[in-house]
Chain A
Amino acid sequence: MAEVRLEIPARPEYLSMVRQVVAAAASLEPTFRDERIDDLRIAVSEATTNAIEAHADLNSDERILISCDLGDDRIEVQVLDQGAGFDPAATVPAPDPEAPDRLQWETGLGIPLMRVLADEAEIQSRGGGTAVRLVVYTPAHRRGASPAP
């Protein structure tokens, strides 16, 4: 398994570079379609955005760690921050578009998008920070996937 690691200042101007590196790593696997790489780019952008904002909330100078592992059947990206942490189960997604108060919500789409765009999206968070793990599987793995016994 090949690994690429990035350690970035928690600043928005680094987002684009993170997306580029992850997309470049994913493109090393020839069977990933461009659309799946685009999905991963968005999911990683969401996770890294949340990490940057978590550090900003604490006025923290600590860096954010992004690791990108390219395996035989998957690409796995982890985004680690040292923010205040949160309860993923308690996050409230933006309401449905038709909801009367939908326009009051300019946020609340990031985590739902991560969960939809990645094959696996796992968030572990506690007081010392948050770890987001995003996995996108190769088409061959997805074709061969079968329900667990």
Chain B
Amino acid sequence: MNVATAVPARIGLSGSRGASAPGAFAAFLASRVAVGDAGQDAVWHAAPERPDTDMGDAEAASRDRVLTAALGGDRDAFDAVVRRYQGQVFRIAGRFFRERAEVDDAAQETFLAVWRRRATYRGDAPFEHWLTRVCLRACYARLRKVGRTREDAGLEDDAPIVARDPGAPGAAVDVARLLAKLAPKDRFVLLLLYGEGWSTEEIAARVGWSRANVKVRAHRARAKLRRILEEDAP
């Protein structure tokens, strides 16, 4: 099996200007600019999707106005936020689910959670980071809830994970089958460790778990992966 396929873009995280200090954000909320100023907010709406760090001042100010309104309960502003960040959320969810319907469901659950929990966003981290955390947790919850994804349904036979080809230099691994054999919590951690290439510290920071918790989960997941690779070896 040729696994040297193009590696897709990883879950991007970037810093964000504005709304990053709790005090500044609270002050900003208090003195929020009237939302719906089409002339100013159009700057952000019309701009191509890109990391917040690459924004100019006018665009960042426009973004802050829309975000503030959305987090204050303005549905139209929230629509604008959804349209702006939906690509990022789909990229994250696409790491855990390969079927489009599953990705769509996870993305919807993410934005619903953002809406329902918008009051808990304190502004002490950039919105993109908070959104990423909510999305990762929504994906984890969904993985646990559905147990096996729809794509796993066709992989329930006992076909080997490691190809038994004596002529091959090393044996190719059927990753889809491997993932189908793993419990959702192990799958989640391994996709972040190996798929995203994140360290346990990075996972802890982005998902919002303690470092000890992530280390234990990573240790268990790696042990299961090792066992599967050893048991399934030709």
Q: Do they bind each other?
A: no
